[in-house]
Amino acid sequence: MSDKKGPPAKGPLDGVRVLDLTEFIFGPYATQTLGDLGADVVKIENPGGDRQRHGSKHAKSDSMSALFMTMNRNKRSVVLDLKTPEGVAKLRALIPTAQVFIHNVRADAMARLGFSYEDVAKLNPGIVYVHCVGYGSDGPYAGRQAFDDLVQAASGAADLLPRVDGSEDMRLLPSFIADKVSSQHAIWATLAALYHQKSTGEGQFVEVPMFECFTHFILLEHLYGETFEPPVSHMGHTPALANDRRPLACKDGHICIQPVSRAASAKFMELGGIPNAYESERFLSAPKGSRVAVYYAMQREAAMAHTVEEWMKLGEEHRIPIMRANGLDEVLDDPHLKAVDFFQVREHPSEGGWRAMRPPVKFSRTPATIRRSPPLPGQDNDEVLDE
């Protein structure tokens, strides 16, 4: 699939220009989504380019890493050296044309360059100025460097897996999840400020602190007993942290089951050859403190009675929540994702074939679309600066 020629379908943010001075993940993922929604995202890069472009063996060329490709479609790249008067002047000239100015540079560095909120608002009073920061500016961590691992560690996320398996060693979740979750906060914050801008004409400063965003995300369930004052129990959602909360091996793969009632759970085990599980001597004779372990053991045994496809059909037939458990490589061939055209192989001008994940949300009137491949550094300088 190649980038479409001719007039693209208009998304809900058609007519919104975003000046994007972000790099890495927290920021680029957010602005890519704004681009998917129809915004004209102008990615401002220094002469070396977004640092996420480089340093990966998982790439076809040095400037287009896999991570860069997955987070920078629907953008135009303009390279400006903001350490020179010429580069500063060109960015200043773009500011009045934009509705959003977003960056993840330290506040003091932006002030030195002449692009603090106050500086930018003088050029465009109605602009939405979004600062993606590590830590809120009114706390003692303000100004410290922040990356995904550091924020996972500070938020308590690194304590979750040890609570599951009893290990003494804290471990990070195997995903850049703090970056991605914080990017989602940056998206809705930007959209809310744009709504206010459209309603009133007023711009504003928006701060999106990664630590606070991710801590909010992690503690929604894990604040648990500390939700109340005084606390009624411990932190950490007990069912979510159960060591047996995992997919089950079956005849030819793995499935996941989440019965929402005792009846559904009993039916699952009956279908797996264990009738009347909750009335069985095996279950009732176990000490009450051990019955959860017996329950999970019976689940594991029952799962082995059928194949993945058989369980998928039985789950639908008996209204039991069952889903195939895909290995990471198997996700590419998931029948549902294939049917909805989730993975789209497109043609990049320099990199050749690349796999895009289509915008997951559907709009009946203003579709989210992929209109541009991830840009080469500075490929759109002339086009943007001459507009």
> What is the token pair recorded at 369?
């679309």
Averaged pLDDT, 125-149 = 98
Establish if 6 belongs to a structural domain: no
- Whether 2 has a pLDDT exceeding 60, the answer reads no
Let me know: does 299 contact 248? Beta carbons within 8 Å. yes
The answer to whether residue 240 is domain-embedded is no
Q: Are residues 274 and 377 in the same domain?
A: no
69 and 149 share one domain: yes
Identify whether residues 137 and 256 lie together within a single domain.
Answer: no
Query: Per-residue pLDDT for 230 more than 70?
Result: yes
Judge whether residue 7 has pLDDT over 70. no
My answer on whether 31 and 106 are in the same domain is yes
pLDDT digits (tens, 9 = 90+) for 243-293: 999 999 999 999 999 998 999 999 999 999 999 999 999 999 999 889 999
Please write the tens of the pLDDT for every residue from 177-187.
999 999 999 99
Is 185 found in the same domain as 287?
no
Task: Give the contacts of 330 (CB within 8 A, at least 6 positions apart).
Answer: none
Reading the block at residue 272, the tokens are 């797996």
Q: In what order do the strands lie in the sheet with 204-209?
A: 75-79, 40-45, 17-21, 100-103, 128-133, 204-209
Say if residue 117's pLDDT is above 80: yes
In single-letter form, the type of residue at position 323 comes to M
pLDDT of 128 reads 99
In which domain, by residue range, is 291 found? 248-324
Q: What pTM value is reported for the model? A: 0.94
- pLDDT tens digits for range 78-105: 999 999 999 999 999 999 999 999 999 9
Number of domains in the chain: 2
Mark whether 29 and 166 lie in a shared domain. Answer: yes
